[in-house]
Amino acid sequence: MPSDKNKNTTQSNSPSGDGGKVLITGAAGFLGSHLCDRFIKEGFHVIGMDNLITGDLKNIEHLFKLKEFEFYHHDVSKFIHVTGNLDYILHFASPASPIDYLKIPIQTLKVGSLGTHNCLGLALAKKARILVASTSEVYGDPLVHPQDEEYWGNVNPVGPRGVYDEAKRFQEAMTMAYHTFHNVDTRIVRIFNTYGPRMRLNDGRALPAFIGQALRGEDLTVFGDGSQTRSFCYVDDLIEGIYRLLMSDYALPVNIGNPDEISLKDFAEEIIRLTGTKQKIVYKELPKDDPKQRQQDITKARKLLGWEPKVSRAEGLKITYAYFKGLPKEELNKLPKEFERKK
């Protein structure tokens, strides 16, 4: 394990928070906005940064009135300037759904490479601890099940998902290089499927796609035969795991997610029961390189962080469904191109 002996001892590393300052990139996104909430709650001064290419200011508008929060409209792929001291950086800027990164592939690669480089450079200059958001997609279409952190993955670098998968793999390599060469205090979280309020209903991922179709009275679309599996983690559990990892002394990647695995066919049926709709499931061709299995091994998170998910899928889905159900009608009908109904 890389050494933490050169860790900056002057930074505010107390889990309870003591008025330190944290920069959160991707702050207006789903996970970034929840991280902003958590760090405000812990007593930190939060600088949120987002270029709003996929983020939405509505996710953080409740924070604008707080003196503990400030927002920078900025693309982290360009030079980042933050005045004064900085204790922590959480790099969460990135498109995160297939629809996004297939539509903006160059930006996806740039935020994972140039954006990560800029954040690490800032961490070096400020002597700040940095946590970067990696993903289960670094495992690709895995040949090992469940996936632990020692598995190197099965990724197609030139396939349609390669722009995201390889951006994240490069991000991890860059982070470890800064850790070993510059002694930057780094953390890497590998995030598995996460859900909850503030997800974009039209981002194309299975959970919001299924709920959106149910709310619009449409049949639910399952790709392939539905036997491929996913493991869904409620957002509050994920944020807790990320916070604990940031405050830990562990520099290598850690899986954070809920290992309760379910097939997409069974999950679609679960959504139909939850929403009380009468729609049926329709099947379409499986997209290229779509992972057949996705279940994380969280042994390391349990051992090192004392963390495991607390919110059951049934409980989390009720909260998430209520959130989506309360969205304005125009949001409900705002479909990505891939899901547009034929006239």
The residues, any chain, with a CB within 8 Å of residue 145's CB and separated by 6 or more, are: 293, 295
**Distance between CA atoms of residues 214 and 210, nearest Å:** 6
**Which two three-digit tokens encode residue 95?**
């498109």
Query: Of 28, 163, 8, nearest to 93 (Cα)?
Result: 28
Annotated catalytic residue: which of 164, 195, 234, 243? 164
**Which two three-digit tokens encode residue 101?**
């990164």
Query: Of 37, 17, 12, nearest to 27 (Cα)?
Result: 37
Q: What is the dihedral of CA 40, 256, 101, 91, to 10 degrees?
A: 40
Catalytic-residue membership of 323? no
Q: Assess contact for 33 and 21: CB atoms under 8 A.
A: no
Q: Using the 8-state DSSP alphabet, how is residue 340 labeled?
A: P
The residues, any chain, with a CB within 8 Å of residue 138's CB and separated by 6 or more, are: 153, 155, 165, 168, 169, 172, 190
Q: Assess contact for 150 and 98: CB atoms under 8 A.
A: no
Q: Assess contact for 93 and 111: CB atoms under 8 A.
A: yes
Query: Of 164, 169, 145, 149, nearest to 231 (Cα)?
Result: 145
| Residues that are catalytic | 164
